Structure 1
Amino acid sequence: MSLLEEKTLSTEKIFSGKVIDLQVDEVKLPNGKTAKRELIKHPGAVAIIAVTAENKIVMVEQFRKALEKTIIEIPAGKLEKGEKPADCARRELEEETGYDCESMVLLNSFYTSPGFADEIVHVYLAKGLKKKENAAGLDEDEFVNLMELSLDEAQQAIKEKRICDAKTVFAVQYIQLQEVLKS
């Protein structure tokens, strides 16, 4: 055991849901004492940075109950059991936006809140966007407005806190950096 590692002594499953599971672990700390850790288990997710030929960022606007407000986000979604992240990214892009793409390139993966959750988000860049005629639709409990924002409009939406989630701020900053590198 490393000097910082916590050894799990027991796990109590509290809740098992559609999106997350909640458990409480009793752990042995490096100093020999014990503590409780409340943990969220999540299957992982994908997020897609998609830019049209007109240099518009494809986004969706949707109500987020946890925040009690409507926000603007890049397309994203939860991994299904056994699903590869790249396949999930293509599926979510089509379902949420009606777009398909020539290629899907993994840019990075990050943990959203490692202090209490194991959720990992895989961020993809969709290249060669094209609208699909018979695109798969949204899940029955999903309601979104499709939006296409310029970089300036996205930056303004961040200032107005209409874009306020990490994956979308990351996406806008990624696109901004690409613009800077071009000049």
Structure 2
Amino acid sequence: MIDVLAPAEAIHAAPELGAVYLSAFGAPGYDEEPARAEEFATEQIPLHSQRDDFKLVVARDAGKLTGFAYGFTGHRGQWWSDRVAAAVSPELADEWIGGHFEVVELAVVVEAQRQGVGAELMAALMTDLPNRKALLTTFADDRPAPRLYRRMGWKVLVPDLGWDSALYGLNLGVPLGH
């Protein structure tokens, strides 16, 4: 079951979100430390929940949170937008960065991965957005997340930004999966 949480609900659910984050990104190959999951829950979620058009979708199985995805409208002057703008051509930055929907995280607990939960979360996240374009960064190498994004119609804009991350874009005027 997929639900959309309001910003206050996201902050209330932050400990559960942190546990999902740790399961997904603490796994081998990602190797995030527990302290990073704590920072995600106590600092990143509260900060990002205040951004324009914040949207968080969660997956639950028998009442237990099994995954989430979230983003917001990104603007120049924000850390990620400025970092990406500095790494791409001025033309690409002008076309894509500023007013875009910024997909920040997609995480699914290890035991629920490869069951379609990530695709359901992304489809729900990208529904009814006010933005014309969307952006995300993900691993530059071949992993499940980049494959999922490509299957859902995301295009590689820059294969490697210089920090082992690829930049993906999606024109929101085109239906997902096409």
Q: TM-score range by the shorter chain?
A: under 0.3
Which structure shows the higher helix fraction? 2
Q: Larger % of strand: which?
A: 1
| TM-score under structure 2 length normalisation | 0.26
* TM-score normalized with structure 1 length: 0.25
